[in-house]
Chain A
Amino acid sequence: MTDPLLSVRNLHVQFNTDEGVVRAVDGVSFDVKRGETVCVVGESGSGKTVACESITRLLPMPPGEIADGEILFDGEDLTDASEKRLESIRGGRIAHVFQNPQSALNPVYPVGAQIVEAIRLHRDVSKQAARDRAIDLLDRVGIPEATARIDDYPHEFSGGMKQRVVIAMALSADPDLLIADEPTTALDVTIQAQILRLLHDLQDEFDMSIVFVTHDLGVVAEIADRVVVMYAGKVMETGSVYDVFDRPSHPYTQALLDCLPGQGESMRPIGGTLPDPKRPPAGCRFHPRCPHATADCRAGDHPEPLTVDAGHEAACVYYGPGYDSSVIRGGSASESRVADGGAAVADPDDGHDSSGGDAR
């Protein structure tokens, strides 16, 4: 196989604030292959948005800063690309779609003018040609009577329609990579499904890769090829969507899946809260909330990603030497989640910190 389209290596992004340095992204690595959909999942505050906005340096810098790591896009390291170079990549080769379509469009310009602007920023075409293409794009993303609606203003569209306009704008220069940051979170469920389907269809048509940021595991199951699970600025687990859903290998991923209603017998929230990003806990970031935490988890650095299966990694000590990973994985995934998790909580003498999260 060829090199991945995007390869984020050991990315560190921090905010230098008056109260101290916030390490929002603390050593994150993942790859995105051509034509692939990678979902970055995690709770609010896990650093997923910061990581994705760092790729094209959309994140305001300062106060943000890429402290370490590299972002290889088609072989080019974007961390030391000039602002000028990034401007041609943004919208041209890497496009973005954001969470809230209500505010993503400039209220004082017609939608067509905003798409035309995006086209003409990257292509040397006439206004008329750009306008024709804008109509085609609006038509393609499912705006009825695109020719009549191109001169309408954003406030004349519904939320779902606005998101379609934003998607049309993102596609205007045939990007290789689409970074979609919770594009369906602000929409109601029926519209969500339509937008997801649209993105899926467009991905094949435009032959692009998608990085999809979300906290909604239902959406992940729907569209992901591969999943990156983030927690407190770290990657906890990466693998194919089947690996992660059927054989979740990190206690955090398991806890996340247990939060889903209708999975297993009951829905269980994760106890405790996300650690303070200015003073993350020593050892594994998740240990204060982890039912399986051992002494090794509470000291030293966050565990390195360890191979579970081919193409499936988890940053958990249980996959290292001297540990029995079956404690976490069990035999069959869904049963083990219920059985092992329950046993661990019930038995405080087996060396696991069952109450870590709640006791803080």
Chain B
Amino acid sequence: MSMHWYVARRVAWAVVATYLILTITFGLLAVAPGDGQTAFAFQAATEGGDVDEARETFDEITGRDEPLLTRYSNYMVNMATFNWGWSFTRNQPVMDAIAAAYPYSLMYAVPATLISIVFGYAIGLYSATHQYTLTDYVGTFTAFFGISIPNFWFGIMLILVFAVDLGWLPSYYQTGRGVWTLANAKQLILPVVVLSTGAIAGNMRYSRAEALEYVHADFVKTARAKGANDWRVLVRHIFRPAMVPLMTILVADILGLLFAGAYITEVVFQIPGLGLLSYRAIIQQDTALVMATTLVPVFIAIVGNLVQDIAYTVLDPRIDYGDR
């Protein structure tokens, strides 16, 4: 069977998985008690509106009183057309809220990811080729330090030292400074440092472990016997085969960096990205927004798995896609 057929089947499976997840989400929402109506009515009341009217308005907007099957088909159509609902706390469509928040997440997540991959892999490979030397021990120690410290604590400590005591960097994120300005870069330094330390450490440990499997491999000796220099041996004969298992971790890492660690970091540094948006939506019971901000990472995970599987077939010629 050809690789194209394999990829086509994987894509089809990704679509099925997405459909199942959406259905489950719908089912959970249909049986959940607090669906936002109360919160909506409460907000109307605090603003001096009529509570019963607000309830009706809410039912009308969300189509709550329709039969379940109609609601289900409406929901699916809305999902497919990216009409993901109305955020009543922000008075805008959910999609607009996400689109507005996303650039702020990317602003620190992209540099943090790049830094953690480059530095993590570089240190890991160096440690593997210099196993049990002083530099290896220093790298390993640093990695364990990076993994061990929790991000929220590290973030607060950095704010205390560099923002409060030294006053070199701002203590929280301010919008409206322009993306490519020095001021924006300065306020992104601390979040990037917080996010990348843990990720560098993780990447370093994984790449060291994977590369160690190949440092003493026979084919590495063959490559040296051919007259390849150290750099060539490292990149082509150690790192390239190690890329296969590292790919899994790499994709998971990027996803995790974008949507898990970022939560805490955004709250600590008050960055108005996806994490903070989701956090506020949960606090304020903005159901549509909570659902959207949770589904986005779910979809990215599905796409990520798909990318992983395709990457395997490209990277490892031994994978046989006939049986799966």
Q: Which residues in A have some Cβ–Cβ distance to B below 8 Å?
A: 56, 58, 84, 87-92, 95-96, 98, 100, 103-110, 117-118, 121-122, 153, 155, 166, 169-170
| Complex Cα spacing A170 to B228, Å | 13
A43, chain B: closest CB distance, angstroms: 22
Contacts of B221 in A (CB 8 A): 58, 96, 98, 104
Q: Are B225 and A91 in contact (CB under 8 A)?
A: yes
B230 closest partner in A (C-beta): A83
| Complex Cα spacing A103 to B316, Å | 15
Contacts of A166 in B (CB 8 A): 222
Q: Are A87 and B227 in contact (CB under 8 A)?
A: yes
What is the number of contacts between chain A and chain B, taking CB atoms within 8 Å?
74
User: When A98-B218, A103-B217, A103-B218 are in contact, do A108 and B315 touch as well, CB less than 8 Å?
Assistant: yes
User: When A106-B237, A108-B315 are in contact, do A90 and B219 touch as well, CB less than 8 Å?
Assistant: no
Q: Are A155 and B317 in contact (CB under 8 A)?
A: yes
Contacts of A88 in B (CB 8 A): 227
Interface flags for B294-324 (1: CB within 8 Å of A; 0: not) read: 0000000000000000000001111000000
A109, chain B: closest CB distance, angstroms: 8
Q: Are B225 and A90 in contact (CB under 8 A)?
A: yes
Interface flags for B159-170 (1: CB within 8 Å of A; 0: not) read: 000000000000
Q: Are A117 and B222 in contact (CB under 8 A)?
A: no
Q: Are A108 and B244 in contact (CB under 8 A)?
A: yes
B229 closest partner in A (C-beta): A87
Contact of B219 among A87, A107, A110 (CB under 8 A): A107
- B280 interfacial contact with A, CB 8 Å: no
B219, chain A: closest CB distance, angstroms: 4
Chain B CB within 10 Å — which of A56, A103, A106 has the most?
Answer: A106
| Complex Cα spacing A155 to B317, Å | 9
Known: A84-B229, A118-B226, A121-B228. 18 other contacts (CB 8 A): A56-B225, A58-B224, A58-B225, A91-B227, A98-B218, A103-B218, A104-B218, A105-B222, A106-B237, A106-B241, A108-B240, A108-B244, A117-B226, A153-B318, A155-B317, A169-B222, A169-B226, A170-B225
| Complex Cα spacing A103 to B218, Å | 6
| 30 A-B residue pairs with CB within 8 Å | A56-B225, A87-B228, A90-B224, A90-B227, A91-B226, A91-B227, A91-B228, A96-B221, A98-B221, A98-B222, A98-B225, A103-B217, A104-B221, A106-B222, A106-B236, A107-B316, A107-B318, A108-B240, A108-B244, A108-B315, A108-B316, A108-B317, A110-B317, A117-B236, A118-B226, A121-B228, A122-B227, A155-B317, A166-B222, A169-B222
- B156 interfacial contact with A, CB 8 Å: no
B222 closest partner in A (C-beta): A104
| Complex Cα spacing A42 to B31, Å | 78
User: When A98-B221, A103-B217 are in contact, do A121 and B318 touch as well, CB less than 8 Å?
Assistant: no
Contacts of B227 in A (CB 8 A): 87-92, 118, 121-122
B192, chain A: closest CB distance, angstroms: 33
| Complex Cα spacing A92 to B219, Å | 18
Interface hits, B158-182 → A, CB 8 Å: none
- B251 interfacial contact with A, CB 8 Å: no
| Complex Cα spacing A69 to B172, Å | 67
- B14 interfacial contact with A, CB 8 Å: no
A170, chain B: closest CB distance, angstroms: 8
- B51 interfacial contact with A, CB 8 Å: no
Contact of A117 among B218, B228, B317 (CB under 8 A): B228
| Complex Cα spacing A108 to B318, Å | 8
